[in-house]
Each structure stands twice: as structure tokens, then as C-alpha cells.
Structure 1
Amino acid sequence: MTQAFRLFGDFAHRYDLHTPPDHYRDDHAFVLDEFRAAGARRILDVGCGTGVFVEKALTAGLDAHGIDAAPAMVAQAERRLGPGRAAVQAMEEIGGGPALDGICALSWVINYAANADAAIAILRRMYGAMAPGGRLLLQCAHAPNMQAAVFEDREPGADGTPDDVVFLFQFAPLGPDQVKARYVYAGKSAGELLWEEHALNIANAELLARLAGRVGFSGVRIYGSWRRDPLGGSVSAWVVADRGAAA
């Protein structure tokens, strides 16, 4: 992910206002359950943002670290986690450290890969960074089920003022594996307004699962949500896979 987005840069200090940590508690619990089932100890959160999941993983007893391509998001994560737990690094650069028991990429981070070739290169790096028996969890957009609906969230402001933060978002499918994500953030009391478009690629859980299998991951499965239900009509799916145990 080479493009700089203001949502993750200039407005990183506001990220937890329009996307409160509690929003993803079920997804986070699902990931932790999967890591426990795989016996994971050392894990990496790719695209860790402000460090919310890393903090939960640490509380759960895991040796958790995070990386993010956006320096401003890593700065927010360090405020939450302290030094040494989050680093500025793109997912295209994963590797070089101790072997990992688990890797996760939540909130459609994998969809910032430029194309299928880039996704394969990232998946190969993930595979190479994992110990035998490690588990991979990728939360991805699924374009075939998207209808370009417009959604709205209203959240308290930094001082607790109700409905002070407004977040509008739309996911418009451009094809079977591409999405245009449109975001509008408004902080009313602070006079803040941001409008931005993000291109999301490899936005198809079935395609992503096939790519994971191509690079050597085994036991690849797709869930429609943290409930482990079939893909069905989901627009946000999970691809879960394992790095085969050593012979």
C-alpha cells in the first residue's frame, strides 16, 4: 500500500472517534479464538491502525506486534501500546523477524494490494514469515455482494458530545473483485471535514482463498462473518488458512 490516505494520516488522531474500538469486538474475539485454536503465541497484526487489536491480544496473553504503512497510525498505536509493539512497515515488506505463529489483517487491509500479483507476493511473504502450524486470518471485502448502499454512523465527539462525529461510507463495486470505497468524516464541533475515495482490489473472498492456496497455505476456508457461517450474501468475509506443519 503505497498511496497516502488522509484518513490514516492527517486524521489518524480522529480514527478512534469515527471507528470506535468497540465496533469490532466480535471480529477481535473471533481472531483470538482462531489463534488459540492454532496454539499461536507470537502474532502479527498487519495494518494494525491505532493498535486496538494488538492491545486486546496482549491482554489475552499473546506476544502481539503490529505493523502499519501509515506513520501517523503507528504513532497513535504507540500511544496506546507503548514503544516496541508497533512499527511502520508495509505489508509488502513482511518478514525478517522471528517466526510467527499467526498473522492477521483485519478491516480489509489486504484489499489495498495493488492487484493479484501484488497479493500473491504479500501472501508469499506471510507464508515465509510463519512457523509450521501457523494460522493466517484475512478479513476482506467481497465485491459480488455489494450494492453501493450508503451507510451512516454517528458517534460522540472527543468531549462526549452526542452525534458530534458523523461518518458516511459507501462501497461501490466496480467488478467481481474491485470496489471503490467512499468515506466522509465530519467532526462538527472541531469544524473538521474529510472526503476521500479508496480503491480496494482483490475484493473477492473466493479469489483470495485461491491465491492463498497457490502460495502453499492449506486448509483454506471462507466464513461470511465472525460467526463462521457460509459466505452467503456477506460483503465482509474471512479467509482463514494454515501453514502446514513440518513433516
Structure 2
Amino acid sequence: MTPRRFRLFDDLAHRYDLHTPAHHYGTDHRFVLEELGRAGPRILDVGCGTGVFLEKALAQGFDAYGTDVATGMVREAAAKVGDQRVRQEAMESLAAEDAYDGICALSWVINYAADAAAARDILRRFRRALKPGGRLLIQTAHAPNMDGRVLEDREDGPDGAADDIVFLFQFTATGADTALARYVYAGKALGELAWEEHPLAVADAGLLARLCGEVGLVNTRVFGSCARDPLGRSVSPWVLAEAPA
């Protein structure tokens, strides 16, 4: 199945860091590096986006690599970390074996799988790509906790103008483990306006944890946030699992 193409990840990839700047994820990235670092330094970021996490990982001494299906994202990431560190590849096509100490998939990348069967196959590929004892960390959407509120972020524009970049987003459950993410991006000084709807599958942390077990991953845990707290009312929990030693 050909992955669906999204403008925010391709045509507007060069604007992504404006409406979703690096400082939004500082705490999350520290958490990921702490957890993956327990297994070793060679890590893979699946769905690496513009390469912000890769840049941080390399700065902290990790041997970090990234993949993304979107041409625009790969271009932006390569500009940050170099062509040798990032490649264009769908998560459904990952074929590495015993190659990484840690793998992460952040910002709901896993939820772009077509369905639970596709997600199971992806997780099986992740398990094969991990070295014995390697760690997998996935940030997932959690539909049961979504309430449909419209949220807003405002950021300074590329010329420093205050509140020039506006990003609206809404997350709505459409089923027990499916959801719809709606995004509106506006760059006022740039004269840009775009909106998209992103269908999300496997949007249940419990389901994802069960799928991890089905493909042979062990010691699976679910956290509500990077503070390692219980799931609670989180709409963006984390699933941590390990390859058998």
C-alpha cells in the first residue's frame, strides 16, 4: 500500500519548524535519549521529520540515523545532519536486521499505519532491526482520551514578527482505536494558509502494547508522558518495549 501524501510533510516541510519548533519537544527528546541510551548508542528515528531529534542525538554522542517517507522531510533532515544519516523509506519497508540498539517513532508516526495488521507487521520489522536487548520507544495517539477541543499555537515568524505563525489542531476519536487529526497552518507575513485532515489508526496505547507482545517484544510498559507516569487522561502516551536479550 502506497503511504498517503500530506502537504504539511512535503510541500510545506520547509515551514514545519516554524509552527512546530524544536523547543516544543525538549523534554520528550531528553526522555527518548535516556531510555534508548540504556541499550546503546546506535539508534534509528523512524519518521524523523525535519531531523530535530537526530541533531540532538548526534550532539550527545549517539550514532543516530533517520528515515522518513516524505521527500520534503528527508530534504530538511539531510540539511541538518547530512545525507549519510537520513534516507527516504516507509516504515512498512524497513528491512534491517540486528542493526540498532534503539528505535524510536515519535509524534504519532505509528498511527499512519493502515490498520492493526499493518502496525503488527511494522512492529515485527522493528523487532528484527533491533539488536538483542535493544529498546523500542513509540509515541502514540490515544483515541479514548480525545475530546475534540480545538487548540492553538502561535510562534514568531521567520522575520521575528510576534505571533506571525498560527497553528490550529484538533484531535477527535472516530472509533475505539481510530481518530482524526485536523491541522490548520497560517504564515501571515508569508501569505500562506493550509489545512489537512489526517486519519489515524491503531490509536490506543493498550492495543499497541498487545501488538508488541504478539511480535515477540518483551517488558512492555505504557507511560502517560515523558515523566513516566500512568496513562491517565493522556492523548499522547508512550509505549516502551525491548527485544529479547
* TM-score band w.r.t. shorter chain: over 0.9
Alignment of 1:194-233 (within 5 A): 194-233=194-233
For residue 25 of structure 1, what is the amino acid of its counterpart?
G
1:58-86 alpha-carbon deviations (Å, 9 max, x no partner) = 11111000000001110000111122111
Post-superposition offset of 1:36: 1.9
Cα separation, 1, equivalents of 2:130 and 2:195: 38
Cα separation, 1, equivalents of 2:159 and 2:74: 23
Cα separation, 2, equivalents of 1:85 and 1:56: 13
Give the corresponding residue for 2:78: 78
Residue 26 (str. 1) matches residue 27 (str. 2) = yes
Post-superposition offset of 1:97: 6.2
Cα separation, 2, equivalents of 1:96 and 1:126: 8
For residue 19 of structure 1, what is the amino acid of its counterpart?
T
Residue 60 (str. 1) matches residue 60 (str. 2) = yes
Q: CA RMSD in A?
A: 0.9
Post-superposition offset of 1:160: 1.1
1:199-228 alpha-carbon deviations (Å, 9 max, x no partner) = 010000000000001000000000000000
Alignment of 1:1-247 (within 5 A): 2-38=3-39, 40-96=40-96, 99-245=99-245
1:29-84 alpha-carbon deviations (Å, 9 max, x no partner) = 0000101222x221000000000001111111110000000011100001111221
Cα separation, 2, equivalents of 1:162 and 1:169: 20
Cα separation, 1, equivalents of 2:96 and 2:24: 33
Cα separation, 2, equivalents of 1:242 and 1:229: 19
**Number of residue pairs aligned between Structure 1 and Structure 2:** 244
For residue 9 of structure 1, what is the amino acid of its counterpart?
D
Post-superposition offset of 1:155: 0.4
What is the TM-score when the length of structure 1 is the normalising length?
A: 0.97
1:147-201 alpha-carbon deviations (Å, 9 max, x no partner) = 0000000001111111010000000110111110000000000110001000010
Q: Is the 8 A contact 2:31 2:226 kept in 1?
A: yes
Cα separation, 2, equivalents of 1:207 and 1:82: 36
Cα separation, 1, equivalents of 2:65 and 2:222: 25
Post-superposition offset of 1:16: 0.1
Cα separation, 2, equivalents of 1:68 and 1:241: 22
1:127-166 alpha-carbon deviations (Å, 9 max, x no partner) = 0111101000000000001100000000011111110100
What is the TM-score when the length of structure 2 is the normalising length?
A: 0.98
Runs (4+) of structure 1 exceeding 6 A deviation are none
Cα separation, 2, equivalents of 1:41 and 1:80: 19
Secondary structure of 2:84 counterpart:
coil
Identity of aligned residues (%): 61
Gaps of 5+ in 1: none
Cα separation, 1, equivalents of 2:22 and 2:96: 30
Q: Is the 8 A contact 2:68 2:89 kept in 1?
A: yes
Secondary structure of 1:197 counterpart:
strand
Cα separation, 2, equivalents of 1:79 and 1:61: 19
Cα separation, 2, equivalents of 1:172 and 1:144: 9
Gaps of 5+ in 2: none
